[in-house]
Amino acid sequence: MEDEVDRLVAAWRRERPDLDVEPLEVLSRVSRLARHLDRARRLAFSEHGLEPWEFDVLTSLRRAGAPYQLSPGQLLTQTLVTSGTMTNRIDRLAKKGLVERLPDPNDRRGVLVRLSPEGRDRADQALAGLLAQERAILAQLSRTQRGDLAGLLRQLTAPFDNIPG
């Protein structure tokens, strides 16, 4: 079965036979898949009234376990955004009643962000919707193929995820 990347690679091989375009066969597919996944994620989240960034923050809190709270600094680490961006996101989520700010009992100047019951419900529902979308995307692969692919992708992503600093 041919895909768009096969056509793109064939065209480059025709136009630039002096270049080794083999990396495109893998990484262009990863890039295209990422765009398809982004669309599927946006659809799954919008069905639950969430934006992707809202899902990221809410699920970071949900994964923390009861009482579903983290400091803004911990949220920064998990969502890879700046402190100004996180402050804005917490404000917007609090205004929607999905999180609340609480004083940090261990730091008089600090705050904790806690998932509200509604935030927890929305995060759980959106996660279930996302997993259904993602299962459909992977349906053509066997369990073994999915495991093999996950392992190969881990080899590519681990160096980026483990850069110090």
Quote the tokens at residue 5. 């990347």
Quote the tokens at residue 145. 């193929």
Return the percentage of the chain with pLDDT > 90, whole number. 81
pTM of the model: 0.82
Tell me: cis bond preceding 67? Omega within 30 of 0 counts.
yes
Quote the tokens at residue 7. 């056509």
Quick one: pLDDT band at residue 165, thresholds 50, 70, 90? low
* Alpha-helix residue ranges (DSSP H) falling in the chain: 4-15, 22-46, 52-63, 72-79, 83-95, 117-138, 143-161
Model confidence pLDDT, tens digit, residues 81-108? 888 999 999 999 999 999 999 998 888 8
Lowest mean pLDDT among 10-24, 66-80, 110-124, 151-165: 151-165
Count the residues in the chain: 165
Residues with Cβ within 8 Å of 141's Cβ and at least 6 positions away in sequence, in order, are 149
Q: Average pLDDT of the chain?
A: 93
Closest CA to 76 of 62, 94, 89, 67: 89
- Going 48 to 50 to 53 to 58, the CA torsion angle's sign is negative
The distance of Cα 125 from the centroid of its chain, to the nearest Å, equals: 16
